[in-house]
């Protein structure tokens, strides 16, 4: 993921999470294609996150291992752990970052629940 100037194509939080969950950097596929001489279409592997979303996206990435899991699967992020990570990162607007984090969390949960 790279930071992109405001107003550029892409850049939204839900799109960034879909890109992250989709495993856009599939090195095995690229290696196999090269071995067998398959020419894959050229695709921009980076998703460009707008500057106003960058801090929130980084918070999500720092919390990416803090999922609560129950008998039915992934429930959501562990907000106690999220609060700790927020303290370590000295965010400019904690409330806005937390709201953005919840948007990304809901998007990730849609993906996780679809996989079951």
Could you state, in chain order, the average pLDDT of each consecutive group of 10 residues for the chain (116 residues)? 51 77 60 69 70 93 92 92 94 95 93 73
Q: What is the pLDDT of residue 11?
A: 60
Angle between helices 94-115 and 13-21 (to 10 degrees): 40
| pTM (2 d.p.) | 0.68
Q: What is the pLDDT of residue 28?
A: 62
Q: What is the pLDDT of residue 8?
A: 47
Q: What is the pLDDT of residue 18?
A: 78
Rounded CA-CA distance 20/46 in Å is 10
φ, ψ dihedrals at 8, nearest 5°? -75, 165
């Amino acid at each position: 993921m790279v930071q992109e100037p405001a107003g550029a194509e892409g850049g939204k939080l839900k799109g960034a999470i879909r890109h992250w969950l989709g495993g856009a950097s599939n090195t095995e596929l690229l290696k196999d294609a090269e071995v067998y001489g398959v020419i894959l279409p050229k695709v921009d592997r980076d998703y460009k996150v707008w500057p106003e979303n960058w801090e929130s996206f980084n918070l999500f990435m720092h919390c990416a291992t803090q999922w609560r899991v129950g008998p039915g699967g992934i429930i959501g992020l562990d907000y106690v752990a999220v609060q700790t990570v927020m303290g370590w990162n000295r965010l400019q607007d904690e409330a806005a970052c937390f709201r953005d984090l919840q948007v990304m969390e809901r998007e990730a949960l849609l993906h996780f629940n679809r996989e079951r």
